[in-house]
């Protein structure tokens, strides 16, 4: 195999694929990427056996062939070369030689035949939507995924197709994020797929903030996303996601409207003196104002007061400050609507008049 390629043509697809590869692997070949040359194209493939990325770029292939090379080392070499550099890659026995200008590198290879691939079956559902739309769904929900929970189905994000909507749901058992968008897909019944955490992160990483389309394909065990030059495939979590609709409060008797930026800043300041383990803060709500307070075992206290739109009865409730701050950060409206019923019921956060995205947070006893 012999390849000639410009540094800029190699760097972007190499970065996309190498991001899949874990630094520490039990199988040595999983630290490598598969490099295939032929037909004026260079194909790069990386996998960790859960997620696979395949990138294609234009290159001059003098000799066809394929080999695997260390992903991180090749990426670091490419990054360190000067802009607009021409790179020549040649297989030399059990090593691959990389030349650019007066620079010479030699990397150890492993046989391409040993490189694993995700065994995918036929796709039974396909749809397309704007990259910006899918990226937004992920960004508004993925922070609520569980972290290494024994309930493995919570260590991922639910994608649900139902009634012309694509809905993303994530929960760790203490808070839940829901966001949906309109979708044109031929799915006569509700379809649910749980995408693992790494799959969500990798999909979010390559999606761009554009109206360009991303083609999605679903099977029972896999999800695939395709944009020009890049295909990402991830395994799905085999499990049943809990009925999230039962967690959404049916009606909130108290609605408090707050300036988003002021609310976020006050929460961050008060949280400085909250208990470092539980991160608890207290909301004391009365007509026209909310008082945010926190204290810790060292008997230190913080108090913030904000003007709000509210004319109901007084109420006190406690929450984990991190959960509230992350939800507020994910909303992009000028004002935020905090919905409450009583001290022991979950609270909701959303943009006023927008039911497409909302957050449910369980209360804390303080």
Of 191, 220, 246, the one marking the end of a domain is 246
For the stretch 251-306, pLDDT in tens is 889 999 999 999 999 999 999 999 999 999 999 999 999 999 999 999 999 999 99
Counting the structural domains of the chain, the total is 3
Of the pLDDT bands very low, low, confident and very high (cuts 50, 70, 90), residue 93 is confident
Mean pLDDT, all residues of the chain: 94
Spatial separation of the C-alpha atoms in residues 43 and 331, rounded to whole Å:
39
What mean pLDDT is predicted for residues 81-105? Answer: 95
Residue 192 has pLDDT above 70, yes or no: yes
Task: For the chain, give the percent of residues with pLDDT over 90.
Answer: 89
User: Is 120 part of any domain?
Assistant: no
Of the pLDDT bands very low, low, confident and very high (cuts 50, 70, 90), residue 57 is very high
- At residue 255, the pLDDT reads 96
Do 105 and 151 fall within a single domain? no
Q: Which domain holds residue 72?
A: 2-114
What mean pLDDT is predicted for residues 168-193? Answer: 91
User: Is 182 part of any domain?
Assistant: yes
Of the pLDDT bands very low, low, confident and very high (cuts 50, 70, 90), residue 176 is very high
Do 148 and 233 fall within a single domain? yes
**Spatial CA neighbour of 306 closest among 342, 275, 267, 274:** 267
Of the pLDDT bands very low, low, confident and very high (cuts 50, 70, 90), residue 157 is very high
* Half-sphere exposure of residue 44: CA atoms within 13 angstroms, side-chain side: 28
Q: What is the CATH number of the domain that holds 133?
A: 3.10.150.10
User: Is 119 part of any domain?
Assistant: no
For the stretch 210-229, pLDDT in tens is 999 999 999 999 999 999 99
Do 276 and 324 fall within a single domain? yes
Residue 186 has pLDDT above 70, yes or no: no
Burial track 203-238 (b if 16+ CB lie within 10 A, e otherwise): beebbeeeeeebebbbbeebbbbbbeebbbbbbbbe
What mean pLDDT is predicted for residues 8-34? Answer: 92
Residue 35 has pLDDT above 70, yes or no: yes
């Amino acid at each position: 195999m012999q390849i000639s390629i410009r540094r800029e043509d190699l760097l972007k697809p190499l970065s996309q694929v190498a991001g899949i590869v874990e630094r520490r692997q039990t199988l040595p070949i999983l630290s490598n990427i598969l490099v295939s040359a032929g037909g004026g194209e260079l194909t790069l493939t990386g996998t960790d056996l859960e997620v696979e990325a395949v990138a294609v770029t234009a290159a001059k292939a003098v000799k066809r062939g394929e080999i695997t090379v260390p992903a991180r080392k090749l990426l670091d070499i490419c990054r360190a070369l000067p802009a607009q550099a021409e790179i020549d890659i040649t297989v030399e026995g059990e090593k691959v030689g990389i030349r650019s200008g007066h620079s010479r590198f030699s990397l150890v290879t492993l046989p391409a035949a040993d490189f694993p691939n995700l065994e995918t079956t036929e796709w039974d559902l396909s749809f397309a939507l704007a990259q910006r739309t899918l990226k937004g769904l992920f960004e508004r929900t993925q922070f609520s995924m569980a972290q290494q929970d024994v309930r493995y189905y919570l260590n991922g994000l639910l994608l649900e197709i139902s009634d012309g909507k694509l809905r993303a749901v994530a929960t760790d058992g203490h808070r839940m994020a829901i966001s949906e968008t309109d979708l044109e897909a031929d799915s006569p019944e509700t379809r649910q797929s749980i995408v693992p955490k790494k799959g969500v992160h990798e999909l979010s990483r390559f999606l761009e903030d554009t109206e360009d389309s991303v083609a999605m394909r679903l099977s029972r065990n896999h999800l695939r996303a395709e944009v020009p030059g890049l295909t990402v495939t991830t395994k799905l979590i085999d499990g049943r996601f809990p009925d999230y609709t039962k967690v959404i409060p049916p009606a909130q008797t108290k609605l408090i409207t707050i300036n988003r930026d002021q609310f976020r800043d006050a929460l961050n300041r008060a949280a400085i003196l909250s208990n470092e383990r539980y991160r608890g803060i207290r909301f004391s709500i009365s007509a026209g104002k909310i008082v945010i307070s926190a204290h810790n075992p060292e008997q230190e206290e913080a108090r913030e007061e904000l003007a709000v739109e509210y004319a109901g009865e007084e109420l006190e409730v406690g929450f984990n400050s991190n959960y509230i701050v992350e939800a507020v950060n994910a909303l992009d409206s000028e004002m935020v609507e905090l919905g409450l019923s009583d001290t022991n019921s979950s609270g909701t956060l959303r943009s006023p008049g927008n039911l497409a995205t909302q957050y449910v947070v369980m209360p804390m006893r303080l």
